[in-house]
Structure 1
Amino acid sequence: MTVTQRRGRRAMMTRAELDAFLAGRRTCRVATAGRDGRPHVGPLWFVWDGRALWLYSLVRSRRWADLRHDPRVAVVVDDGEEYEELRGVELSGTVTVVGETPRRGAACPELATPERLFAAKHFGLSVMPHDGRHAWLRLAPDAVVSWDFRKLRER
């Protein structure tokens, strides 16, 4: 993971802050580009394993169709209501499909950690339920930009 941030370093999250923030949030917004070049942004649940953002997406969705054509994405996870409370992370790069499509639960060692994390975070379960409609996308980001405007008022 490369931090590409030059401006706003005072508001930038440390690695530990970024990991804690992503572990604590449930929903991200995923931006894709369609075959015609039109952008599409939609919310999606995710988990962060410390190296990659794991997205569990419907395979019959505009997002999935867009990503099969062009796997580049930008993902934003943010929080805060008032300006001085805003904090977030933007991750960008290329997604990779991992495991079967759609996911029905076949053995896939690479999915053991994200499925354990996702099941606990989003369903309160120890085992991931599979519905045969979703599949996994892994984003090992090429670029990461973060901000925590709460830091600016601390100085």
Structure 2
Amino acid sequence: MTSKDGKVKLSDSEIQYLDKAEICRFATASKDGQPHVVPVSHLYDEGYIFVAVDYGTKKLKNLRENSKAAIIVDSYSPMRAVMIQGSVKLLEKGEEYREIYKLFHSRFAWVRRDPWKEGEAPFVKMTPTHKVSWGFRKQ
């Protein structure tokens, strides 16, 4: 199901599953389509997926060339997964950046141990445009 703003709607069970997982696999592709998949921390907030990235990384280079990305959170006991594809924009500074940083800081111990300042590392804001999930009951 898609909302009026074009975002794919997730079920409450899917949102809870994303919120419980600290790590997802984050997939990007270069302008010529070469895939790149890495584990990252993520947040789901207000219908968007947020991922912290570093400057100088392959994933950031890919996102500057190709604004499409995907994440998957999965487990095998019980067998369950949520895969989300979408378009991204980079947050490097500003009020939204600071709000997302606060959420990352409160949720992840690694951010509290190794904090950074605005402008030192961007966030990826992914607008979900497609999802596939399994292992959840219909709501």
Task: Please tell me the TM-score bracket, short chain as reference.
Answer: 0.7 to 0.9
The TM-score, its normalising length taken from structure 2, stands at 0.80
Post-superposition Cα deviations, 1:29-60, rounded to whole Å, max 9, x if no partner, equal 11111133211111111111141000101121
Task: Tell me if structure 2 keeps the 8 A contact 1:30–1:41.
Answer: yes
Q: Does residue 54 of structure 2 align to residue 58 of structure 1?
A: yes
CA radius of gyration, larger in? 1
Post-superposition Cα deviations, 1:62-87, rounded to whole Å, max 9, x if no partner, equal 11111100010111111224xxx211
Which deviates more from structure 2 when the two are superposed, residues 39-48 or residues 28-37?
Answer: 28-37
Percent sequence identity over aligned pairs: 25
Q: How far is the alpha carbon of 1:145 from its aligned partner?
A: 1.7
Cα RMSD (Å) of the superposition?
2.5
Letter of the 2:22 counterpart: R
Task: Tell me if structure 1 keeps the 8 A contact 2:90–2:123.
Answer: yes
Alignment of 1:88-103 (within 5 A): 88-100=81-93
Q: Which has the higher strand share?
A: 2
Letter of the 1:17 counterpart: S
Q: Does residue 130 of structure 2 align to residue 143 of structure 1?
A: yes
In 2: Cα distance, 1:50 partner to 1:146 partner = 19
Q: Does residue 48 of structure 2 align to residue 48 of structure 1?
A: no
Post-superposition Cα deviations, 1:117-147, rounded to whole Å, max 9, x if no partner, equal 2112212878x92156421110010112221
The TM-score, its normalising length taken from structure 1, stands at 0.73
In 2: Cα distance, 1:111 partner to 1:20 partner = 23
Q: Which has the higher contact order (CA 8 A, sep 6+)?
A: 1
Runs ≥4 residues deviating over 6 A: none
> For structure 1, which runs of at least 5 residues remain unmatched after alignment?
4-13, 101-107
Task: Tell me if structure 1 keeps the 8 A contact 2:88–2:125.
Answer: yes
